[in-house]
Amino acid sequence: EAGVAQSPRYKIIEKRQSVAFWCNPISGHATLYWYQQILGQGPKLLIQFQNNGVVDDSQLPKDRFSAERLKGVDSTLKIQPAKLEDSAVYLCASSLEGKNTEAFFGQGTRLTVV
């Protein structure tokens, strides 16, 4: 079974530029998550979708970050404009619906803002 696919793997941009990340979850997984992992810290949830609806975006910096999940499948996360502190690994994960179901993670996109 194919895993969670993310692209690009690496991205370097200058501050104030914009960037977008793409995620393709495991087929049939209704729930999709975007996490931010800053170096030396654990992943922090940015946004959770169930199908194409937002369940939790309480920690998403909405002045600069946006995310969408069209048709309840693929998702994109955008940052505009980027700041130096946005340098991190952005992880996408997906899971089946229901309590305590396992979340499967992609390899992540490493963003460096210079």
Partner 1 sequence: GDSVTQMEGPVTLSEEAFLTINCTYTATGYPSLFWYVQYPGEGLQLLLKATKADDKGSNKGFEATYRKETTSFHLEKGSVQVSDSAVYFCALTRSSGANSKLTFGKGITLSVRP
Our finding on whether 48 is near partner 1 (CB under 8 A) is yes
Our finding on whether 45 is near partner 1 (CB under 8 A) is yes
- Cα 5 from Cα 23, distance rounded (Å): 6
Our finding on whether 42 is near partner 1 (CB under 8 A) is yes
Our finding on whether 73 is near partner 1 (CB under 8 A) is no
Residue 103 CB burial class (10 angstroms; 0-12, 13-18, ≥19): middle
Our finding on whether 71 is near partner 1 (CB under 8 A) is no
We find the least distance from the C-beta atom of residue 24 to partner 1, in angstroms, to be 13
Out of 11, 23, 29, 33, point to the residue binding partner 1 (CB under 8 A).
33
Our finding on whether 40 is near partner 1 (CB under 8 A) is yes
Residue count, binding to partner 1 (CB under 8 A) = 29
Tokens, residue 108? 């992540």
Q: From the CA atom positions of the chain, what is the Rg in Å?
A: 13
Neighbours of 1 (CB within 10 A): 6
* Residues 57 and 47: beta-carbon distance below 8 Å: yes
Provide the binding-site residues for partner 1, judged by CB under 8 A: 3-4, 31, 33, 35, 40-45, 48, 50, 55-56, 91, 93, 95, 97, 99-108
